């Protein structure tokens, strides 16, 4: 496959991830279920889906042999959900969203501190520009440091740890996407269940209507969002893969406009498009050779180079 087709495949992947993760907030609203229940079922129902993907690829997977990096990844994902959801009670949604969606910037800082990776000037500039554009999109004029802001900030850090751990497992340890995701999501589901239990949140007794939305959360934002991001982490750094999350508030706003009838302004559309263009430029500045080969071996361990 030539370079132009490789780039087209990469752009399509980013587009799918963007739409998928943007759907999460809309699905939560439509489900009318507690946030902790949505997080738990989103994680738990993704497990049988991953088992099915493994079987279709002729490779069985299990939750056995959970290692330290799976624990770190799963606990980080669970705490990311828990802290962010609680911050929404304490501070305005747009402030919480800004702080938590900055995790590509946090990922970049972790990578610079702990690895020998040297991102290009374009990648660094793209991530910082996306951060500025996102602040403009959300209309944040000043940030007040309080418990809610601290929780949202830490939630973003946990998201960064989750994705950096995924990059380590996929690129360094050569774990397949399915094996890594099953073990990490299982740990995250158990941790989320414990958090819901401690907070007294009901997880079981819901009607079929809500379970339909729980399943949609597992399929769309978890499988086509997080799992596809974990797939790309074999080839790309966490900061590059997660840069698509900068477009999540804009994507969620568009879906809320079409599905829920919520308002969106022309300035938000312009800024949102600017963010997505910056994301595509940032991602495309990375080496894309061999991406098609990765799609042909979604459930296979990465080959040692």
Tally of CB atoms within 10 A around 200: 7
CA distance 168 to 170: 6
pLDDT value of position 302: 52
CA distance 295 to 292: 5
The encoded tokens of residue 109 equal 């800082």
219, 168, 181: which is closest to 23 by C-alpha? Answer: 219
Close Cβ partners of 85 (under 8 Å, ≥ 6 residues apart): 35, 36, 39
Q: What φ, ψ does residue 125 adopt, rounded to 5°? A: -65, -40
What digits encode the pLDDT tens for the residues 194-230?
Answer: 999 999 999 999 999 999 999 999 999 999 999 999 9
In this prediction, residue 297 has a pLDDT band, given cuts at 50, 70 and 90, of very low
CA distance 291 to 233: 11
Task: Give the residue carrying structure tokens 């950096």.
Answer: 164
DSSP 8-class letter at 2: -
CA distance 182 to 47: 6
CA distance 284 to 262: 32
Domain spans, the chain: 3-295
What digits encode the pLDDT tens for the residues 259-286?
Answer: 988 888 899 899 999 999 999 998 887 7
> Residue 298: pLDDT above 70?
no
What digits encode the pLDDT tens for the residues 30-67?
Answer: 998 888 899 999 999 999 999 999 888 777 677 778 99
In this prediction, residue 290 has a pLDDT band, given cuts at 50, 70 and 90, of very low
Helix (H) or strand (E) holding 76: helix 68-90
Give residue 173's Cα distance to chain centre.
21
CA distance 175 to 181: 9
């Amino acid at each position: 496959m030539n370079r132009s087709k490789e780039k087209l495949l990469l752009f399509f992947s980013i587009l799918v991830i963007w739409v998928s993760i943007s759907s999460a907030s809309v699905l939560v609203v439509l489900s009318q279920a507690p946030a902790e229940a949505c997080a738990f079922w989103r994680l738990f129902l993704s497990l049988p889906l991953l088992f099915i993907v493994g079987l279709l690829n002729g490779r069985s997977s299990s939750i056995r042999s959970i290692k330290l990096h799976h624990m770190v990844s799963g606990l980080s994902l669970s705490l990311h959900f828990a802290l962010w959801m609680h911050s929404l009670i304490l501070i305005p949604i747009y402030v919480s969203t800004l702080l938590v969606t900055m995790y590509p910037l946090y990922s970049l800082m972790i990578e610079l501190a702990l690895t020998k990776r040297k991102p290009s000037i374009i990648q660094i500039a793209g991530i910082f520009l996306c951060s500025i554009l996102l602040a403009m999109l959300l209309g944040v004029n000043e940030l007040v440091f309080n418990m809610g802001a601290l929780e949202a900030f830490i939630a973003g850090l946990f998201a960064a740890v989750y994705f950096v751990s995924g990059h380590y497992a996929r690129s360094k340890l050569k774990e397949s996407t399915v094996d890594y995701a099953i073990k990490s999501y299982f740990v995250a589901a158990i941790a989320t269940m414990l958090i819901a239990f401690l907070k007294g949140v009901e997880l079981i007794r819901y009607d079929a209507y809500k379970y339909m939305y729980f399943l949609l959360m597992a399929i769309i934002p978890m499988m086509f969002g997080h799992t596809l991001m974990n797939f790309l982490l074999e080839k790309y750094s966490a900061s590059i893969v997660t840069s698509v999350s900068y477009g999540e508030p804009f994507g969620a706003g568009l879906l809320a406009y079409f599905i829920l009838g919520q308002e969106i302004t022309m300035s938000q559309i312009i800024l949102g498009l600017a963010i997505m263009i910056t994301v595509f430029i940032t991602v495309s500045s990375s080496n894309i050779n061999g991406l098609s080969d990765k799609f042909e071996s979604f459930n296979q361990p990465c080959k040692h180079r």
